[in-house]
A and B are shown apart, each in its own frame.
Chain A
Amino acid sequence: MTRIVSILLLVLFVCGSAHAHKASDSFLYWDAANQDSPGRLDIALVDLLGVMVLDSNGDNQVTWGELQDQQSGITEYLASRISMTAGEQNCAMDWRMAGLTQHSDGNYLAMEVKPNCPTESVEEQQLQYNLFFTEDPQHRALVMVRKDGNERLTVLSPGQRSLALADNPGLLQTAKTFLWEGMVHLWIGYDHILFLLALMLPAVLKRKKGRWVSVDSMGSAVKEVALVVTAFTLAHSITLVMATLGWVRFDIAWIETIIALSIVAAAINIVWPFLGGRLYLLGFGFGLIHGFGFASVLSDFLVNTGSLAVALASFNIGVELAQLAIVVVFVPAIFLLRRQWIYQRVILPVGITLIACTGMYWVWDRIPLA
């Protein structure tokens, strides 16, 4: 008898090499742009049947209603095996039954999930997947992550259970991002522009003994502006680097106030040069303060990058390019207008007043004394 049983098994071994169907797979889709439910997990119903009682009335078939009635059990099961962390902290996972879907080997239950993480930073999120691995080490999660319109495929297995939901961007991407952020920040941060304008205005028209005296050549105007802008750039680069690398600490509220104050001072200095006529010194001195302001903005983005040096350099270059664009447009314009009546009598006084008043309003608004 033993021999007969053995031989039956033998035949089984030798003849059973036809391949078919597929091994156990779940499908995990992740699209951070979909804020309501960035994640969707499709679980094969047969896999679920192996770990849960789905056929509650025992009629050898599972209806959608029976699955719906198991929603809390399924949700608990998923919560016990799939988790997410953001940095050191755990995120709550809000699972929801979305419906039924099909993959090549049959029906799958589609579950949607919305993680609630303490921080907003997507880049730090790690998903830990431990579904079915104990019951079936051949189980895999086939993952599709959509980011910036691109879809990345990967696989989770017993040897690779965690998924970083956003890659660190490459160096080129970092450089591009921070270059753009630097330019945007200068253009939308009106305080830096106003300060720059206040420094550039006297380059074509100086106040001497109560009268406006215009410069004769474009060359000397450009030279003056170049000196001022370079000094400003050099100064804010120094403090931007120092602050970003954590060598100095500052109170951003006071920095913002002093920046506003610098605008008022530069405007008044055009009419009454109480800080002296050497504009480059003025640019350098206040540039040091403006650098701290840039650093505060930069630190908001730096959480998302691993390449600090590239980010810092690109951000700074972005700021300089944006400055250059303003200089290129502004200096020829004021040079051409410098001798016009309307410029000397209207545009300049009104402009200086507006700059000074805006600066003063910002001082009032920002000063941290309440």
Chain B
Amino acid sequence: MPSTIFLASSKGGRGVRPGFYPLILSVLLLPSAGIAAPIGPDVQIPSREEVVLRIDNSLPVIPKAERNSPELSPAILALQVRELIQRSRETGSPRPLGLAEGLLAQVPESEWTPDVYLIRATVLQRLHRFDDAEADLERVLQADPDNHQAWLTRYSIALVRGDIQGAEQACGLLEKVLPGLVAQSCSAELASMGDAPEQAFQDLQLSIQNSRNAHSSERDYALVTLADMASRLDMPVAGKLWAEALLQAPDDLYRRARFADWLLLNDQAKAVLPLTRDYVAVDTLAVLRAVAMTDLQHPQRQTLTEDLQRRFQEASWRGEFLHQWEYARFLLDVQGDARAGFEMAEANWQTQRAYPDRQLLVRAAIAAGKQDDLKRLGVESGAAL
């Protein structure tokens, strides 16, 4: 049929020129094409042999096939939930935390031990539900006031929320129930927010040197605290400390992210690329990589930026934004949208008030010309808290 149209119109004279027919046809077909436009991303049908999912430890779920389901006693429950928290920590995925919540709901609370409440507090802490987490910790501490894990969790939650008084109380009690390097770390960390921050740093450094017999995990905790303090105090040694901390635990996403962040803020974007290369599935590290690529005008920055845009679009659709810090950083340092970056940093500030949150808020406010808003939020731009 199209060939007939073409032949008829090729005769010339007053006929419609051949080029017009496709145009007319497309105009006629346009309404139906509009209706038929599918909703949602494209769907493909792979070949039967194509692998669509690989099952390994990097998966954020434990496959049904691998899960033996004995009757859930509180002890087994705590064990399985710990396994999920571990998987969330290793993969950086919140998915196992949801599964942990589902698992916890399978055992009635009347049967729960303080240990189960403690483990739930961790799940809630990681989901940024700090009030609920603190309520669980309160139960644990009422049943077992010497539970040092509960005091340390309470300390870290208080610190993230900017509740210095609560952090001091938790740290003070930790010193009583677990004297040693961990308690010295929290004590030095709090002291570094006061009048003599350098002195506090040196004190903890000395404590680490003098605690060669302490357990490696305690020394590791102290080292990460020291690196945190150095970053906050803007000390050049921070980079060396983060590198050392990462070497101790290369799989730990927190110290990898903090090290990358420090490098970026100290004009070492190039060093961030190898550090984040295998971690683009992790939002925090992917955003930091995108910031580095933007700084370096890297040829692949567009692909990563588009990927991140899609992730944040989905997160916005979901509405419950766990990654506000990351999104604010993305808006500010990749998209160059200071105003939107400040809004997101401010939203993040409502729940999280640790040093990186404050630092981002101040940077975004200055970039957006909103220094006055910092006063409203009770933040001093120069303070290293």
Contact = CB atoms under 8 A, between A and B. Distances in A.
Given A49-B55, A144-B39, A22 B126 contact: no
Contacts of A144: 39-40
Nearest to B160: A17
A13 B149 contact: yes
Interface stretch (A133-141, A253-261, A280-288): A133-141
Contact of B92 (A21, A23, A62, A137): A21
Given A11-B220, A14-B221, A136-B101, A23 B52 contact: no
A102 B307 CA distance: 12
Interface residues of B, number: 85
A102 B64 CA distance: 22
A58 B62 CA distance: 14
Contacts of B35: 33
A249 B101 CA distance: 58
A80 interface: no
Contact of A18 (B59, B97, B256): B256
Interface stretch (A38-46, A84-92, A163-171): A38-46
B28 interface: no
Interface residues of A, number: 73
Interface string B40-76: 1111111111111111100111111100000000000
Given A21-B95, A138-B97, A13 B318 contact: no
B85 to A, nearest CB: 7
Contacts of A46: 53, 59-61, 95
Nearest to B256: A18
A155 B55 CA distance: 29
B1 to A, nearest CB: 26
A9 B93 contact: no
B242 to A, nearest CB: 12
B221 A100 contact: no
Interface stretch (B16-24, B319-327, B373-381): B319-327
A217 interface: no
A100 B46 CA distance: 7
Contacts of B41: 42, 101-103
Interface in A1-40: 3-4, 6-25, 27, 29-31, 33-34, 40
Interface stretch (B194-202, B232-240, B280-288, B336-344): B280-288
Interface string A45-86: 111011111110010111111011000000000000000000
A99 B318 contact: no
Interface stretch (B162-170, B297-305, B309-317, B364-372): B309-317
27 contacts: A7-B215, A7-B217, A10-B217, A12-B89, A13-B122, A14-B156, A15-B221, A16-B85, A18-B256, A20-B283, A21-B93, A21-B95, A21-B283, A23-B318, A24-B95, A40-B39, A49-B55, A51-B64, A54-B63, A64-B46, A100-B46, A100-B52, A101-B40, A134-B105, A136-B95, A140-B318, A155-B318
Given A98-B43, A140-B320, 9 more contacts: A11-B221, A13-B152, A17-B160, A18-B282, A20-B285, A53-B63, A63-B52, A67-B52, A101-B43
Closest 5 CB pairs of A and B: A20-B92, A138-B98, A65-B48, A21-B93, A20-B282
